[in-house]
Amino acid sequence: MARRLDARAPDFAAQFTALISRETEEDVAASARGIIADLRKRGDSALIELTNKFDKVALTAQTLRLNQTEIDAAESQCSKDALAALDIAAKRIEVYHRRQLPKDDSFTDDTGATLGWRWTPLDSVGLYVPGGTASYPSSVLMNAVPARVAGVTRVAMVTPASGGKINPLVLAAAKRAGVTEIYRVGGAQAVAALAHGTQTIAAVDKIVGPGNAYVAAAKREVFGTVGIDSVAGPSEILVVADNKNNPEWIAADLLSQAEHDISSQSILITDDADFAAKVEAAVELALALLPRKEIAGASWQNNGGVIVVAKLNDAAPLVDRIAPEHLEIATENPNELLALVKHAGAIFLGRNTPEAMGDYIAGPNHVLPTARTARFSSGLSVLDFMKRTTLLSCDAKTINAIGPAAITLAEAEGLDAHARSIAARLNAKP
């Protein structure tokens, strides 16, 4: 049973802080650093050796990369229904993200200066896709489609072939999403290969995609050499619901994230204690039927929470404290609470908008900030695969009009060469 909290209780503040304070995972940074250093020194040899050791697959330099025949063969193993669903998802994700494309702009001010900016895509992106039980074709679409929409010409995907196998639907998703090359490697060594390059894998400019603690640690280590999307933590969902909801629906929504991992967190906030009890009972009944009941049960037991507030609007400051990855507002008028909330990775409005729709098919990206980072960051978008460059063009009129003020500031900072580069152009004829 998850923890039950009452917002009116004298010790609520302490209980709430304990609920949202997550334990950090074991520090694996030193191990990741060692792997990265080894790969930088030995390239393909280290990548193959580590992959054979951790993934139990015998690779050579010639078999690191999947060929088109292998990708097509994997696609042929997928059901027609699954491929049709991928096509629907890919199209909706593309339509949504194409609307995010930014526009170049410029203007000329009263001094004659022309100012503006332009957007250009990254040259190359590396996409990490987990293997094993955490192998999600939907994540391939969510990471690769926005990159393609942004105009990235090279998308290199790495995914571990645990025991020699890769989920065929992952490869089918990669084919649809515009991935240009696929390598059967994973772990910190794959991140290092993408960041620093090997004899077979060319380095990329940015690495995106989720992974385990070693992958996360490696992404931290290579940041600066390459860009990264974020360091993802366990999945989270916060549901704010009134008593007019079906308790079984809300229970299913809570468990949709609990089944990801034992470290995931699911929280319900409601203004009705009786409804809270009904949801808790529904969760227990639903758990018994889930194939991943051990994982979901441990998540709900250890990290889950049910908070009863006096009125639903009281949930807003609690939502902002939690800054959840996913927020469902399942109320009569969800827009009322939406107006009061500032921090959440993605928000799902109304009783018929389960978070799982956003995971797969709706269109918005499911790569979202976790671990309260929604306070200062956003979910993955087309902008993550583009750069904004500022543009400036001055003429003699501009230099004469605002150059003296720039010289004054440069001299105040003791940077005489700066000042002289501007002064040399003063009083030049237009």
Separation CA 311–CA 242 (nearest Å): 9
Q: Report how far apart the first and last C-alpha atoms of the chain are (Å, whole number).
A: 78
Q: How far apart are CA 294 and CA 213, in angstroms?
A: 21
Query: Are the CB atoms for 392 and 115 separated by under 8 Å?
Result: yes
Q: Taking every pair of C-alpha atoms in the chain, what is the biggest distance, in angstroms?
A: 83
Which residue, 176, 127, 210, 60, is CA-closest to 385? 127
Residues in the chain: 430
Q: pTM for this one?
A: 0.92
Report yes or no: 264 and 326 within 8 Å, Cβ to Cβ: no
Q: What are the DSSP calls for 275-340, one per residue?
A: HHHHHHHHHHHHHTT-TTHHHHHHHHHHH-EEEE-SSGGGHHHHHHHH--SEEEEESSSHHHHHTT
All structural domains of the chain, each given as residue ranges with its CATH number in brackets, are 3-22+234-362 (3.40.50.1980), 29-103+122-228 (3.40.50.1980)
- Asked if pLDDT for residue 133 goes beyond 80, the answer is no
Q: Which residues of 8-37 are buried (b: 16+ CB within 10 A; e: fewer)?
A: eeeebeebbeebbeeeeeeebeeebbebbe
Read off the pLDDT of each residue in 12-34 and give the average, rounded to a whole number: 83
**What would the two tokens of residue 125 be?**
């992106």
Each residue of 229-242: b (16+ CB within 10 Å) or e?
bbbbbbbbbbbbbb
169-222, pLDDT tens digit by residue?
A: 999 999 999 999 999 999 999 999 999 999 999 999 999 998 888 999 999 999
Please check the confidence at residue 430 and state whether its pLDDT lies above 60: no
Cβ 397 vs Cβ 133: under 8 Å = no
Structure tokens at 429: 């004829």
- Residue 295, pLDDT > 80, answer yes
Question: pLDDT tens digit string along 221-278?
Answer: 999 999 999 888 889 999 999 999 999 999 999 999 999 989 999 999 999 999 999 9
Q: What is the mean pLDDT of residues 121-128?
A: 98
Residue 23: band (very low, low, confident or very high) from pLDDT cuts 50, 70, 90:
low
By the 8 A CB rule, do 209 and 139 touch?
Answer: yes
Active site residues: 325-326
Cβ(96)–Cβ(364) below 8 Å = yes
Model pLDDT, residue 429: 65
**How high is the pLDDT of residue 24?**
54
Is the distance from CB of 113 to CB of 145 less than 8 angstroms? no
Taking CB atoms within 8 Å and a gap of at least 24, the contacts of 221-229 are 221/29, 221/32, 221/33, 221/36, 222/36, 222/191, 222/192, 222/195, 222/196, 225/195, 225/196, 226/126, 226/194, 226/195, 227/122, 229/143, 229/367, 229/380, 229/384
What does the pLDDT read at residue 170? 96
* pLDDT, averaged across the chain: 94
- Output the pLDDT for position 231: 85
Instruction: Tally Cβ neighbours within 10 Å of residue 200.
Output: 17
Task: Report how many helices (DSSP H) and strands (DSSP E) the chain contains, helices first.
Answer: 17, 14
Q: What is the pLDDT of residues 38-97, one digit of tens each?
A: 999 999 999 999 999 988 888 999 999 999 999 999 999 999 999 999 999 999 999 999
The three-state secondary structure class of 7 is: coil
To which residue do tokens 């409804």 refer? 275
